[in-house]
Structure 1
Amino acid sequence: MCLDSQTKAHFLSDGSHTHGTSFFYAQASQMNSDTEESRFRHLLSGNHEPQSREIEEVRNIVKRRESILKQTDAQLLELLKTAMSLWERRVRDDSLLSRFHCILSPMRRLPRELLIEIFLLTRDWLSEEGGFTPIPVGPYSKPSPLVITHVCSDWRKVALSMPALWATIRSSHEKYDPSVPDSGPLYDERLQTWLIRTGKHHPLDITFEGPPTYHETPCPVSWINPYMNRVRTLTLVGGVGTLPSGTFPMLEMLSIDDYDSHDELKNNQVSFPSIHRVVLKGCFYHDPSTFVPLLQLTHLYLDIDSTFPMSIFLDMVSQAKELVELELSFFEVDEDLEDPDLIVTAEDRVVMGQLQTLVTPIPVVTSSLLRYVTLPALITLDLTYNLWPASLYSSLQSRSSFPLQSLNLRNWICDGMDPTEFLDVLQKLPSLREIVSYGALAITPTLVSGLTSISSDGVPDVAPNLEYLGLFVNPKVETDDGLLLEMVASRDPSGKPAVLEPTPQPGMRVFRSHLPKQLSSYKLLDFAMDKLEPGVHICF
Structure 2
Amino acid sequence: MPTIDLRRRLVELDAQILEQKRALRDLQQTRITVERELRETASYPILALPVEITTEIFHRLPLKVASYSGSGLSSYVAPVSLTAVCRSWRGIALSTPKLWSTMEILFDGVPPTVIAEPGMVELSIHRWLGRSGECPLSLTFILHDNRFPLSRLRTIVHQYAYRTRYLNLDDFNPMDALELYSLSFPSLQAATFRCDSNLETHVFGNAPQLHSLHMLSLPNEGIVLARLHLPWQQLTTFEGTIHNLDLFVVAPNLIDVKCYWPGQNTPALITHSRLTSLTVIADDTILKYLTLPCLRHLDLTVELNRYNFVASFLKRSSPPLISLRAQAADPAFSQWHNAALHVAGTLEDLELLSPSRGVMASIFSSWESPGRRTLTALSNLKTLRFLDVLDPVSQHELVHFLYLRSDKLRSLQLVWYGSPYLYGRTEAGAPGAPAALDTIVGHFSRLRAAGMDVYVGTEDENYAATNDEALDA
TM-score, normalising length: structure 2: 0.64
> Aligned match of 1:326 in 257, 269, 276?
257
User: What's the offset of the Cα at 1:397?
Assistant: 1.7
Residue in 1 that maps onto 2:210: 275
Partner residue, 2:14: none
SS of equivalent to 1:355: coil
* Letter in structure 1 aligned against 2:348: R
Q: What's the counterpart of residue 378 of structure 2?
A: 463
Structure 2 unaligned segments of length 5 or more: list them: 1-30, 63-74, 369-374, 423-440, 466-473
Greater percentage in helix: 1
Q: Which residues of 2 match residues 141-290 of structure 1 at below 5 A? A: 144-150=78-84, 153=87, 156-175=90-109, 181-182=115-116, 187=121, 191-199=125-133, 201-211=134-144, 215=145, 217=147, 220=150, 221-222=153-154, 223-239=156-172, 242-245=177-180, 246-256=183-193, 258-260=194-196, 266-267=201-202, 271-282=206-217, 283-284=221-222, 286-287=224-225, 290=228
Distance 1:382 1:173, change over 3 A: same
Q: Would you say 1:99 and 2:38 are equivalent positions?
A: yes
- The answer as to whether partners of 1:469 and 1:537 remain within 8 angstroms in 2 is no
1:536–1:302 CA distance, 2 compared to 1 (3 A): farther
Please list the CA deviations of residues 78-99 of structure 1 after superposition, one character each: whole Å capped at 9, or x if unmatched.
xxxxxxxxxxxxxx99x95993
Where 2:399 maps in the other structure, the secondary structure is helix
Deviation of 1:370 after TM superposition, in Å, equals 1.8
Amino acid at match of 2:270: R
Shift of 1:424: 3.6
Identity of aligned residues (%): 20
Q: Does the 8 Å CA contact 2:185/2:204 hold for their aligned counterparts?
A: no
The separation in 2 between residues aligned to 1:517 and 1:396, in whole angstroms, is 40
2:352 equivalent in structure 1: 437
The 1:164–1:96 alpha-carbon spacing in structure 2 relative to 1, beyond 3 Å, is closer
Is the contact between residue 204 and residue 230 of structure 2 (CA under 8 Å) also seen in structure 1? no
Tell whether the 8 Å contact from 1:260 to 1:286 is kept in structure 2 after alignment: no
Whole-angstrom CA distance in 2 between matches of 1:537 and 1:328: 37
The match for 1:356 among 265, 276, 300 is 276
Is 2:383 aligned against 1:448? no
- Within-5 A mapping of 1:27-106: 96=35, 99=38
CA contact (8 A) 2:93 2:99 kept: yes
TM-score if structure 1 supplies the norm length?
0.57
Whole-angstrom CA distance in 1 between matches of 2:282 and 2:231: 26
CA distance in 2, matches of 1:472, 1:401: 27
C-alpha displacement of 1:356: 1.5
> Contact 2:197 / 2:224 at 8 angstroms: preserved in 1?
no
Q: 1:188, CA displacement in angstroms? A: 6.7
- Quick one: structure 1 residues 98 and 327, their matched pair in 2 at CA, closer, same or farther if it must change by over 3 Å? closer
After superposition, the C-alpha distances for 1:445-490 in whole angstroms (9 at most, x for unaligned) are x7426434299xxxx8331122333333464x44444443343334
The letter of the residue matching 2:255 is V
Give CA deviations for 1:214-250 in whole Å, capped at 9, x if unaligned: x365663222221011110112234566434412221
Q: Which amino acid aligns with 2:364?
A: L
Match of 1:132 in 2: none
Conserved 8 A contact 2:383-2:412: no
* 1:96/1:192 CA distance change after superposition, 3 Å: closer
State whether residues 203 and 232 of structure 1, in contact with CA within 8 Å, keep that contact through their aligned partners in structure 2. yes
* Structure 1 pair 238–248 and aligned structure 2 pair: CA distance change class (3 A): same
Q: What is the aligned residue count? A: 380
Q: Distance in 2 between matches of 1:244 and 1:482?
A: 65
CA spacing shift, 1:447–1:148, aligned 2, 3 Å: closer
Answering whether residue 119 of structure 2 is matched by residue 119 of structure 1, we say no
Q: In the alignment, is residue 409 of structure 1 matched against residue 326 of structure 2?
A: yes
**Which amino acid in structure 2 is aligned with residue 299 of structure 1?**
T
CA distance change for structure 1 residues 442 and 218 in 2, over 3 Å: closer, same or farther? farther
Contact 1:353/1:376 (CA < 8 Å) preserved in 2? Answer: yes
User: CA RMSD of the aligned region, Å?
Assistant: 4.8
Helix, strand or coil for the counterpart of 2:310?
A: helix
User: Aligned-pair distance for 1:373?
Assistant: 2.5
Partners of 1:195 and 1:159 in 2: how far apart?
A: 13
Matched, 1:507 2:421: no
Is the 1:259–1:284 contact (alpha carbons within 8 Å) kept by the matching residues of 2? no
Counterpart for residue 18 of structure 2: none
SS in 2 for 1:207: strand
Residue by residue, what CA displacement relative to the aligned partner does 1:346-380 show, whole Å, maximum 9, x if unpaired?
xx432x232111011021xx21x323332222111
Q: Give the distance between the partners of 1:301 and 1:151, measured in 2 at CA.
A: 40
Q: Say which SS state the counterpart of residue 228 (structure 1) adopts.
A: helix
